[in-house]
């Protein structure tokens, strides 16, 4: 099957329609876009449609690309991803992009849910209490990444020498990483993709490549996710992510 036919097949599956022919004001650009994303990149590597769409939603959330996020929220539903899974992918970006951009993404996502007749709010997925969020987050964090953060920032003046590592454990890991809706393995790969899409976070990208390997992703799957994300975050961010952990992803 050539890439034009592959594009047609994937476009129908994801969006329930056909690719651009000569419609709109920029049909030539749309043909380039669609044939590359849905005719080439989507056919390369081992990730399935569900994981590719969760990767896409994550990148679009990080980039603040709300019209495209709405289209791919619908595509997620079309390939069998549950509303809760989509929501958790969006929620998981908050520690990396902050609350305002995440709220914008949530609003766009919820518009699609409302159009599909999905009742809101969705069922809660929190798994910690005020009393347990620190210990639960710390246990999950140290199980994958060790105690590096607490040790690295011991130089900070009080109270931040204690507060900053604690905030990371409580907020990023306690409030978000412990949530239901996505398993630990899936969430770890999406966090890696979010950091790669953010740009300038190569130290964290490398840490999360190690995390992805520890949680069971193969080197090929990690590269596949980054290359798929390239369509939405651009070539430089993809190459930066690959370059900072090339030793971890060396073919063997």
67 and 141 part of one domain:
no
Region of 228 please: left (phi>0), alpha (psi -120 to 50) or beta: alpha
110 and 195 part of one domain:
yes
Helix, strand, coil shares of the chain, percent, nearest 5, are 70, 0, 30
Exposure string over 7-35, b if 16+ CB within 10 A, otherwise e: bbebbeebeeeebbeeeeeeeeebbeebb
34 and 155 part of one domain:
no
Contact between residue 200 and residue 97 where contact means Cβ atoms under 8 Å apart? no
Let me know if residue 79 belongs to a domain: yes
| C-alpha span between 72 and 235 (Å, rounded) | 21
20 and 52 part of one domain:
no
| Total domain count, the chain | 3
Let me know if residue 249 belongs to a domain: no
- Residue 251 pLDDT: 81
189 and 112 part of one domain:
yes
- Residue 152 pLDDT: 85
Give the Å distances, CA to CA, from 172 to 96, 147, 178.
9, 15, 9
Its pTM surpasses 0.85: yes
The token pair at 54 is 């969760």
DSSP 8-state assignment for residue 119: -
86 and 193 part of one domain:
yes
| C-alpha span between 115 and 113 (Å, rounded) | 5
Contact between residue 30 and residue 20 where contact means Cβ atoms under 8 Å apart? yes
Q: Which of 9, 16, 71 is nearest to 35 (CA)?
A: 9
- 97: domain CATH number is 1.20.1290.10
Contacts 24+ apart (CB under 8 A), 144-152: 144/188, 144/211, 144/214, 144/215, 145/207, 145/210, 145/211, 148/207
| Residue 9, domain extent | 1-43
- Counted residue by residue, the chain has a size of 252
| C-alpha span between 150 and 162 (Å, rounded) | 8
- Residue 232 pLDDT: 98
| C-alpha span between 54 and 59 (Å, rounded) | 9
207 and 170 part of one domain:
no
Cβ-Cβ contacts under 8 Å for 153 (sequence gap 6 or more):
160, 161, 164, 165
Let me know if residue 250 belongs to a domain: no
Contact between residue 108 and residue 90 where contact means Cβ atoms under 8 Å apart? no
Cβ-Cβ contacts under 8 Å for 110 (sequence gap 6 or more):
120
| C-alpha span between 219 and 14 (Å, rounded) | 26
Cβ-Cβ contacts under 8 Å for 203 (sequence gap 6 or more):
244
166 and 194 part of one domain:
no
- Residue 148 pLDDT: 74
pLDDT digit string (tens) for the chain, length 252 residues = 699 999 999 999 999 999 999 999 999 999 999 999 999 999 999 999 999 999 999 999 999 999 999 999 999 999 999 999 999 999 999 999 999 999 999 999 999 999 999 999 999 999 999 999 999 999 999 888 877 777 888 899 999 999 999 999 999 999 999 999 999 999 999 999 999 999 999 999 999 999 999 999 999 999 999 999 999 999 999 999 999 999 999 986
78 and 188 part of one domain:
yes
97 and 152 part of one domain:
no
């Amino acid at each position: 099957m050539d890439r034009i036919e592959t594009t047609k097949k994937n476009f129908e599956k994801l969006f329930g329609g056909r690719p651009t022919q000569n419609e709109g004001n920029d049909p030539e650009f749309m043909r380039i876009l669609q044939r590359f994303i849905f005719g080439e990149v989507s056919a390369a590597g081992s990730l399935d449609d569900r994981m590719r769409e969760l990767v896409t939603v994550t990148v679009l959330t990080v980039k603040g690309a709300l019209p495209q996020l709405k289209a791919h929220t619908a595509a997620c539903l079309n390939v069998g991803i549950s509303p809760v899974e989509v929501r958790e992918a969006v929620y998981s970006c908050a520690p990396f992009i902050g609350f305002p951009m995440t709220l914008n993404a949530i609003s766009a996502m919820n518009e699609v849910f409302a159009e599909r007749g999905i009742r809101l709010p969705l069922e809660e997925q929190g798994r910690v209490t005020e009393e347990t969020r620190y210990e639960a987050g710390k246990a999950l964090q140290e199980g994958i990444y060790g105690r590096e953060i607490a040790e690295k920032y011991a130089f900070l003046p009080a109270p931040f020498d204690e507060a900053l590592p604690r905030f990371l454990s409580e907020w990023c890991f306690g409030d978000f990483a412990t949530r239901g809706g996505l398993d630990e393995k899936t969430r770890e790969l999406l966090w890696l993709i979010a950091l790669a899409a953010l740009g300038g976070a190569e130290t964290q990208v490398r840490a999360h490549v190690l995390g992805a390997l520890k949680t069971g992703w193969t080197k090929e799957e990690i590269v596949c996710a980054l290359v798929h994300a390239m369509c939405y975050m651009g070539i430089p961010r993809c190459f930066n992510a690959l370059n900072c952990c090339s030793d971890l992803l060396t073919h063997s």
